[in-house]
Each structure stands twice: as C-alpha cells, then as structure tokens.
C-alpha cells in the first residue's frame, strides 16, 4: 500500500474479526464488510455521508446526544439532510414518520440505538427492518442502522435480524479496558442496501483518512479475546444491581432490560442472547440534588463518563447533555458495570444512598 490509511495488516485483521463476529452462526458464509475508524463518531459520520441525498434520518427520541450534535453542526439541511426524533419503540409512530417523509421524495435512514443511552429502551430490530423493507420502492433508499455499542456481538447481532448496518464505538466493550479510541461499521452481506453502503463507507474511510491506528486495532483485538467472558460477568452483575435498585425505597425507577418490569423486556429476551441483557443500567432518584449526592458518595464505583470497561462507572447523565437537547431526567444516574464483585457494588450503592439521604434530608 502507498499509504497506511489505504490498508494496514493489523487493521485488516480487526475488520475481518469483527465481520465474523457480526454474522457468526449464519450458514451463508459471505463476508460482511467492516471498516475501522479513528472513533465511533467518525464511523457515524461515514454512514451518514454514504447515504444518497436528499436524506431524512429518523432518530430515537433518547439517542446519544453526540449524534444530533453531529447532525446540527456538520450535516444540516443546507447539505440536504434533515432529521426527526420519535419514540422508536412505537411501531405506529415509526410507520407514520416513514410515510410522511416518503411524501417529500427523500431517502430515509432509520437509526436504531438499542439498548438506548441512557434510558435503556429496546427497539425491536427485526420488526423495524421488516417495516423498512415494506416501504422500499421508487428508487429511493430506506436503510437501517443499529448503534449496538451497548450490546456487542456476543449479546446482539443486528445484521442477523435484518439491519443493513451495525456500528459500535470500539472504545467501549470491544476494547474493554478504557485505553482505546476506535469505531467500527459493518455492512450486511445479506441486503442490497448493506452491500451498496459497505462499499461507499470503505471509500469514505480511505478518502477521508479517519482510520483506526494500528495500535488501537491491536488493543481492540486483545480486548476481543475476553469479550464474551467480560460481558457475561458484567451482565450477571448488572442484573443483581438492577434488582437491588428496583427494590430500594429511595429509587423511583430502575431502567434495565433484564427486569421483567421493563416495558420492552420481552423484546430484549428475544433479540439479546443467552438471557444476558447488557452491563448498562440507569436509575432515577427524586431530583438532581439527590442524584449528584449519590454520585458523589460512592467509593468503589468511580464517578466518570464512558462505559464498557473493567471498572464500574456512574454519572449524572443530564449534566453531560447539551442544554437544548436534554433527554435525561434530572434525577437519573447512569451506571456502567465493570468486573467488581456484585456484592461490593451493591454495598457501595446502598451506603451512598444512605449518605445522600442524610445530607439532602430525605
């Protein structure tokens, strides 16, 4: 290769490995196409750039705030791109939105984030992709993409459920040790949209040069060796912590797909593997003051953003969101479960809740 951005053996190995993980178990052995980027946001940008114009993007109403920020600051209507947030768990709302946008003769990108950040909503991937296929006509593209960062391939394989594209912030669970900056985008070998977009995304990766570094690719390959073990442990611990929080008198609501009280629990049980529901959860307290007091009182758990590493992290999510696009309740805390003992985490949260109650005067 003339330039490393055009090809690197370590990056190529990572891309092949991710492709295999995304379609593992499929009898059809055609390879998916994976492109590794310098960050998850670079991968998101490549997906948007690969879509034909004019383009309308249908977004979940509680999507990670970085996506609408990118749309607002980089991809706006002057560039032929518009967007609308809806409740993606409501299939009727989605169907109506597709019909409305098709009337404007636009290409459509249906963006799924499941479980969602931070409310842990679970979108029915298979039903959503089937709906997109129903409307595919008139030469316009109606494509589907799943941000599956919270559910790595050992938990969910969106391409096997009909999605055209799946993407991950490899910085999180794939790398798994909080020492990587990387994103991966994989296109489906089973859909026409996936095949077309995969080729375009690869061209954008090379042309823009936003490629993952060889070192970050190597670190991610190292992380993938223990992915299934780490995620299995994190899921088990998250379930135990979620059950504790759901019964705590100071906790108003606990968001975790593994709880039977979760509104999309049955969907999660169907599309997430081995009765494992992820290592991410959130819970709500009465107000922001109480939430920040709890976050400040933990000891074993670290107060920090990011997720998917070996250490358990907690953050007051609303503080991280732009003022004009807050989706988190003021009393919500998001937790990324690490590899610590479940009892240690539960004791830490119980202690922090008791301290906060005394300080706030609850």
* The predicted structure's pLDDT at residue 225: 97
What domain count does the chain have? 2
- Check whether residue 219 and residue 107 sit in a common domain: yes
Tokens of 142: 């109606």
- Check whether residue 270 and residue 154 sit in a common domain: no
Task: Give the three-state DSSP class for 83.
Answer: strand
Cα 289 to the chain's mean position, in Å? 28
Marked catalytic residue, from 121, 172, 317, 334:
172
Burial of 159-176, coded b for 16+ CB within 10 Å and e otherwise, reads: bbbbbbbbbbbbbbbbbb
Kindly give the pairing relationship between strand 280-284 and strand 183-187.
Answer: unpaired
- Check whether residue 207 and residue 353 sit in a common domain: no
Active site residue 147: yes
Residue 192's CATH number:
3.40.640.10
* The predicted structure's pLDDT at residue 30: 64
- Check whether residue 99 and residue 202 sit in a common domain: yes
Residues 6+ apart with CB under 8 A from 107: 51, 52, 53, 54, 55, 56, 140, 141, 142, 143
Domain termination site, one of 224, 256, 282: 224
Residue 272's CATH number:
3.90.1150.10
- Check whether residue 234 and residue 217 sit in a common domain: no
Sheet strand arrangement including 142-147: 33-37, 183-187, 165-169, 142-147, 107-113, 55-60, 81-86
The half-sphere exposure of 326 on its side-chain side, counting CA atoms within 13 A, is: 12
Active site residue 299: no
Residues 6+ apart with CB under 8 A from 280: 115, 117, 120, 150, 238, 307, 334, 335, 336, 337
Phi-psi region of 306 (alpha: psi -120 to 50; beta: other; left: phi over 0): left
* The predicted structure's pLDDT at residue 102: 84
- Check whether residue 184 and residue 275 sit in a common domain: no
Marked catalytic residue, from 5, 79, 347, 351:
5
Active site residue 173: no
Marked catalytic residue, from 62, 147, 164, 348:
147
- Check whether residue 194 and residue 240 sit in a common domain: no
- Check whether residue 29 and residue 71 sit in a common domain: yes
C-alpha distances (whole Å) from 69 to each of 41, 165, 286, 323 are 11, 21, 28, 12
The Cα 295–Cα 304 span in angstroms is: 9
Active site residue 5: yes
Tokens of 93: 């709302």
Cβ(304)–Cβ(320) under 8 Å? no
* The predicted structure's pLDDT at residue 321: 84
* The predicted structure's pLDDT at residue 28: 57
What is the mean pLDDT for each group of 10 consecutive residues in the chain (362 residues)?
Answer: 85 96 73 93 97 95 92 86 94 91 88 96 97 85 97 97 98 97 97 96 95 97 98 98 98 98 97 96 97 97 96 94 84 98 98 94 68
- Check whether residue 75 and residue 182 sit in a common domain: yes
Tokens of 108: 């459509």
* The predicted structure's pLDDT at residue 159: 97
Task: Give the three-state DSSP class for 330.
Answer: coil
* The predicted structure's pLDDT at residue 259: 98
- Check whether residue 122 and residue 147 sit in a common domain: yes
Domain termination site, one of 194, 224, 254: 224
- Check whether residue 220 and residue 346 sit in a common domain: no
Domain termination site, one of 181, 205, 224: 224
- Check whether residue 330 and residue 184 sit in a common domain: no
**Residue 322 belongs to what domain range?**
227-360
């Amino acid at each position: 290769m003339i330039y490393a951005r055009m090809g690197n053996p370590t990056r190529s190995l990572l891309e092949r490995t991710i492709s295999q993980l995304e379609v593992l178990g499929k009898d059809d052995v055609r390879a998916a196409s994976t492109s590794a980027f310098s960050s998850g946001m670079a991968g998101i940008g490549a997906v948007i750039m690969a879509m034909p114009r004019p383009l309308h993007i249908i977004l979940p109403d509680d999507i990670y705030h970085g996506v609408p920020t990118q749309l607002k600051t980089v991809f706006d209507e002057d560039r032929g791109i518009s967007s609308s947030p809806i409740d993606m768990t409501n299939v009727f709302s989605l169907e109506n939105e597709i019909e409305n946008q098709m009337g404007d003769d636009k290409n459509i990108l249906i963006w799924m984030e499941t479980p969602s950040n931070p409310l842990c909503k679970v979108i029915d991937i298979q039903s959503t992709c089937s709906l997109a296929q129903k409307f595919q006509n008139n030469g316009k593209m109606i494509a589907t993409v799943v941000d599956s960062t919270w559910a790595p391939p050992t938990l969910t394989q969106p391409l096997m459920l009909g999605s055209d594209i799946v993407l991950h912030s490899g910085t999180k669970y794939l790398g798994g040790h909080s020492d990587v900056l990387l994103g991966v985008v994989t296109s489906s070998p089973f859909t026409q949209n996936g095949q077309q977009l995969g080729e375009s995304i690869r061209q954008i990766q090379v042309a823009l040069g936003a490629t993952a570094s060889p070192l970050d690719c190597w670190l991610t390959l190292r992380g993938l060796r223990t992915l299934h073990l780490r995620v299995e442990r994190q899921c088990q611990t998250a379930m135990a912590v979620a059950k504790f929080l759901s019964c705590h008198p100071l906790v108003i609501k606990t968001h975790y797909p593994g709880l039977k009280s979760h509104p999309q629990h049955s969907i999660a049980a169907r599309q997430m593997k081995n009765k494992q529901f992820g290592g991410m959860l959130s819970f709500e307290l009465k107000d922001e003051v109480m939430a920040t007091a709890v976050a400040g009182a933990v000891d074993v758990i670290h107060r920090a953003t990011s997720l998917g590493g070996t250490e358990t992290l907690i953050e007051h999510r609303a503080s991280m969101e732009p003022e004009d696009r807050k989706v988190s309740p003021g009393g919500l805390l998001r937790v990324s479960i690490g590899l610590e003992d479940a009892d240690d985490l539960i004791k830490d949260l119980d202690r922090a809740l008791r301290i906060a109650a005394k300080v706030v005067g609850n």
